[in-house]
Structure 1
Amino acid sequence: MTIDWRSKGFWQPDGAIEPERIAAARPSIFGGGFTWPLLVVRRAAIEANIATMAEYCRRHGFDFAPHAKTTMAPGLLEAQMRAGAWALTVATPNQALVLRRLGIDRVLIANEVLDPVALRWLAAGSTAGWEAYIQVDSIAGVAAAASAVASSGAGEGGVIRVLVELGHVGGRTGVRDLDELATVARAAAEAPGVELAGVAGYEGQLADQSGVDAFLEQLAASVSRLRSGALLPDQPIVAAGGSAWFDRVTEGLGGLRGSARLVLRSGASVTHDDGFYRERTPFVRVPEEGPLSAALEIWAQVISVPEPGLAIAGMGKRDAPFDEGLPVPMEIRRVDGAAAPAGGLRVTRLNDHHTYLAVDDGDLVPGDLVRFGLSHPCTAFDKWRDIPVVDEDRRVVDVLHTYF
């Protein structure tokens, strides 16, 4: 991998440079080798967040399988594995393919997979010792898995491991009640080439704690229901957990400790944010268990101040997430390098390449830089191919590469 003219934010109009050479030189992002806008990751925050979540899971008796789709950055995924992650989670077979090529031995696909091409690949991978799991919520999903194993040529030992998924009304995938879950589980247990490994659910779309707790109670009850039918292995996998309610997951499923492998899948915790998750992190409710720190920031330049109370920054939807809240102005860096507070700035909207800033207090001039915090990291990383990792002086110490 080299950094060249294709790497947004890096200024390499001629030739190419290896990330290792950039890291060894430790350049400042303000030193001329970068241009704006520029997404960076703060190393100290990343390291602290990874350590916090690893310790949280150990303390509560959960295995961690963080959702890789947040970053799809090998450097961060490898750091999470080194910190003790049991597996990594993905959303699609393509993401699972990336992780297998990166050498990740165990992957959860937290989604239904019915594509026979992908299913045959999963079956063949199992014969080579690669451990992957998919979710099923229908008889059709079980049948597709069984058919793929039969036609894969994987031979003896070829298997597709499945978790029966419990959902909720108004949610996305997942069976809607325990009777249906038992029906799908029995089909999986009886299908040749299919191995029923446990159950899974996702509580992140539920709006309040009472709804989350009720859902997790039902997920825990599903284990008893399937055990009564002799459908589960001795230590079934029970997987759940977004990044907004993982404290309720560890509480709601905690009664299964010792009789099941409990798996938490929270992915956004690796970078946290300055918007959606800052307000919704479980560590707001249980601060003694945390904290997490925002690790992502975008620096953008003020390119126009066309009228009083309005400034335009050269950053837009191509650069920053906007689906779960707009970027948050955090700091102003003047042309001479002086820092100023950004409390009088508000982002009101984004175009493809322009950010509208309401200037309620203070002033901005063309050429000023604004540091923005972001909301929702899952739609930030996919906009950048190469991302500098910086120390607290904004000197580059590493470069992440993303695979989206």
Structure 2
Amino acid sequence: MNDAEMDTPVPVIDLDIVMANLRRMQDYCDLHGLKLRPHIKTHKMPDLALEQVRLGAVGITCQKLGEAEVMVDAGLTDILMSYPVIGAAKAARLGALARRATMRVAVDNPVALRTVADAASQAGREIGILVEFDSGRLRTGVTTVDEALALARAVVATDGVRFDGLMTYPSSAATAPFIAAAKEAFAAAGIEIGMVSGGGTPDVWSKHETVGLTELRVGTYIFHDRATVGNGVATLDDCALHVHATVVSRPTPDRAVIDTGSKSLSSDLVAPSVGKGFGMIREYPDAVIERVNEEHGMVDLSACAARPEIGERVRVLPNHVCVVVNLHDTVVRTRGGEIDGDGTGVWPVAARGRSR
């Protein structure tokens, strides 16, 4: 199968670029003494997670238990759950995972702690706990050092769980001061902070400047997207995934319609300083995908010197690649400009849709 034979819309990844991105991040972490624990929510593919570990990652990060179940089935054995795990149903699933892999879970409240303790009891194995603190995103995470210390004390006093350290997202200007204050308070309480896990691709190449950070959780770096290019942490040449689309209509000279709408590209936008529309058409960078319905992408061509014809194939760089991958059951992989593998290059997105 060649490019012209691929039915569109279809996400296509370049494995040569993927491998370059993986090596670059591992080299960065090794250089600065940071442990790398990639977040698989971007790619959701066990083969890629295994490759990340083969290159030197200490383990992986999963957002949901469904993702972790897929990864453990594939042979991944060291997993951090970076999302709250609450309730009896999730305790049973976490316990089943803990019998098969080394599990850590981020918590920011006593209810989540009790769920993890219940899971550890069911598994008959210890589960590590990271206390999550808020670095300014105003999402999950305790907001004061006193709260973090109180929760850590509760972890230490709870059977079946182990206090491993702290976690935050994103790593920001507020992170290092919180870590410094926490180290002082925890030392006074006789509690060791063994690890501090931070994350976020948008400013990844300065993470080593965050004093106290020991571990890095990043996901988007494996493919990159329009947002990371706009943030200056990647170039267009670093972008490994594009959605291939076909021009299906040209109602006016200034408008084209592609067969790629919100069900393929998502409805995520980027900052106005990065660009307009719902993705960048690589062959026509001055075009703007100004609107998307579920299956239609309406493209403004008014700023383009050259314009696509009906039936022409184009490559769309997604605004937010993590969402795009989760919209598709499979991707096509290429290497050296050719379809990889058995001639079809089709690769299942095994953890797609695992939202629980």
Return the TM-score normalized by structure 2: 0.89
Q: Answer with 220-229 or 366-375: which moved more.
A: 220-229
AA aligned to 1:349 is R
Deviation at 1:263, TM superposition (A): 1.1
Does the CA-based 8 Å contact 1:243-1:281 persist in structure 2?
A: no
Distance 1:216 1:283 in 2: 25
Deviation at 1:145, TM superposition (A): 2.6
| 1:187 counterpart = 2:154 | yes
| 1:173 counterpart = 2:130 | no
Q: 3-state SS of the aligned residue for 1:379?
A: helix
Does the CA-based 8 Å contact 2:156-2:162 persist in structure 1?
A: yes
> What corresponds to 1:308 in structure 2?
253
Distance 2:239 2:138 in 1: 28
Does the CA-based 8 Å contact 1:160-1:194 persist in structure 2?
A: yes
> What corresponds to 1:330 in structure 2?
282
AA aligned to 2:346 is V
Deviation at 1:368, TM superposition (A): 1.4
> What corresponds to 2:2 in structure 1?
28
> What corresponds to 2:325 in structure 1?
381
Deviation at 1:75, TM superposition (A): 2.1
AA aligned to 2:231 is R
AA aligned to 1:143 is R
Deviation at 1:392, TM superposition (A): 4.6
> What corresponds to 2:186 in structure 1?
226
Distance 1:109 1:292 in 2: 32
Does the CA-based 8 Å contact 1:122-1:160 persist in structure 2?
A: no
> What corresponds to 2:311 in structure 1?
367
| 1:164 counterpart = 2:131 | yes
Unaligned runs of 5+ in 2: 271-277
Superposed counterparts of 1:5-404, under 5 Å: 27-30=1-4, 32=5, 34-126=6-98, 128=99, 130-150=101-121, 152=122, 154-155=123-124, 158-168=125-135, 171-203=138-170, 212-232=172-192, 236-253=194-211, 255=212, 262-273=214-225, 275-282=226-233, 293-325=238-270, 326-331=278-283, 342-360=284-302, 361=304, 362-397=306-341, 398-402=345-349, 403-404=351-352
Q: Which runs of 4+ in 1 moved over 6 A?
A: none
> What corresponds to 1:339 in structure 2?
none
Distance 2:180 2:223 in 1: 29
Return the TM-score normalized by structure 1: 0.78
Structure number with larger C-alpha Rg:
1
Instruction: State the Cα deviation string for residues 133-157 of structure 1 (Å, max 9, x = none).
Output: 001111222233334444x2x44xx
Distance 2:45 2:267 in 1: 21
Instruction: State the Cα deviation string for residues 13-47 of structure 1 (Å, max 9, x = none).
Output: xxxxxxxxxxxxxx3121x3x21122100121101
Distance 2:10 2:100 in 1: 41
Deviation at 1:190, TM superposition (A): 0.7
Unaligned runs of 5+ in 1: 1-26, 205-211, 257-261, 285-290, 332-341
Q: Percent identity?
A: 25
Distance 2:77 2:54 in 1: 13
Deviation at 1:124, TM superposition (A): 4.9
Distance 2:78 2:143 in 1: 28
AA aligned to 2:269 is E
Distance 1:104 1:122 in 2: 15
Instruction: State the Cα deviation string for residues 92-135 of structure 1 (Å, max 9, x = none).
Output: 11111111111101000012111223324434544x46211001
Instruction: State the Cα deviation string for residues 372-397 of structure 1 (Å, max 9, x = none).
Output: 11121110111111211113535344
AA aligned to 1:247 is W
Instruction: State the Cα deviation string for residues 226-259 of structure 1 (Å, max 9, x = none).
Output: 23211226xx121011111223432113x56xxx
